[in-house]
Amino acid sequence: MSKLRVAVIGARGRMGSEAVRAVEAAEDLELVAALGRDDPLETLTERGAQVAVELTHPDSVVANVGFCVRNGVHAVVGTTGWTEERLGALREELAAVPGTGVLIAPNFGIGAVLTMHFARQAARFFESAEVVELHHPGKADAPSGTATRTAQVIAEARRAAGLPPQPDATTSALEGARGADVEGVPVHAVRLRGLVAHQEVLFGDEGEILTIRHDSMNRGSFMPGVLLGVRRVVGTPGLTVGLEHFLDLDG
Ligand SMILES: NC(=O)C1=CN([C@@H]2O[C@H](COP(=O)(O)OP(=O)(O)OC[C@H]3O[C@@H](n4cnc5c(N)ncnc54)[C@H](O)[C@@H]3O)[C@@H](O)[C@H]2O)C=CC1
Ligand SMILES: O=C(O)C1=N[C@H](C(=O)O)C[C@H](O)C1
């Protein structure tokens, strides 16, 4: 059986270098390109890449994924910065190239995906919900893509259950003290040397607290999800947002 031809964009970064090692170690995959910031994207087509793993920067990701889609290269995207507007434009680009697939995964960690799944299940039972994400100080964006998605999932579940806005008597506060407001769910971001990627989802009601916590202790923790995405995206045309779609979570 021929190997799937894979490229990594952002190959010299924290995640990209780990992805290069993971692809090289996988028997069914062949690393055909490892691109840094100054390398031309045309290398992808010249080397016949079938799938590109995109791990760069929110300012670079849209152009990189657009190039992949226009050239029929499937993409597995871990980079953050995907607003609804950006997703809409990508859906339109994909509609013109049937057969090409893009996976955007806010988090490749299986435990992080499960955290969001469990948060969706828990949300309707609690009056209060807040998200705290904790990351290394080299991270460019705040709050994290995962925390934003987690808050959106909680907000969706609260709306579906007809819950009112959360109780909060705050009438004066220093700017930022109550975190970012993501659809009514406060999200707090910590940046601390020594951390990798961590998240706590706090649910509260009269007399009880439920905390769901996930810790990525190293970037190897994301690699099974990256490899799953690479193997599955080639058979999944169009846009998939979230690795949960490639996991049999209810089975
Ligand atoms: N979905 C997930 O599970 C995860 C996602 N991430 C996200 O992945 C992204 C990268 O994170 P890190 O590896 O920590 O960042 P990093 O800063 O260590 O690496 C990014 C690399 O991309 C390169 N780069 C920037 N623009 C480029 C371009 N146009 N073409 C090629 N290379 C380019 C940079 O020079 C750098 O080497 C961030 O958005 C981060 O939030 C990070 C960890 C897990
Ligand atoms: O920048 C990181 O490190 C991470 N970014 C992603 C995010 O913003 O959610 C995933 C994970 O939290 C690590």
0.95 surpassed by complex ipTM = yes
Is 3 tagged catalytic?
A: no
Look at residue 78 in the predicted model and tell me its pLDDT: 98
Q: Is 145 in the pocket of ligand 2 (CB under 6 A)?
A: yes
pTM of the model: 0.96
| Ranges under pLDDT 50 in the chain | none
Choose, from 57, 74, 117, 135, the residue flagged as catalytic: 135
Q: How far is the CA of 56 from the centre of ligand 1 (A)?
A: 3
Q: Are strands 4-9 and 197-205 parallel, antiparallel or unpaired?
A: unpaired
Residues with CB under 6 A from ligand 1: 9-10, 12-16, 35-37, 55-58, 60, 64, 78-80, 105-109, 222
Look at residue 250 in the predicted model and tell me its pLDDT: 75
Q: How far is the CA of 146 from the centre of ligand 2 (A)?
A: 7
Phi then psi dihedrals of residue 215, to 5 deg:
-130, 125
Task: Report which protein residue has its CA nearest ligand 2's atom 1.
Answer: 139
Phi then psi dihedrals of residue 151, to 5 deg:
-65, -40
Look at residue 251 in the predicted model and tell me its pLDDT: 60
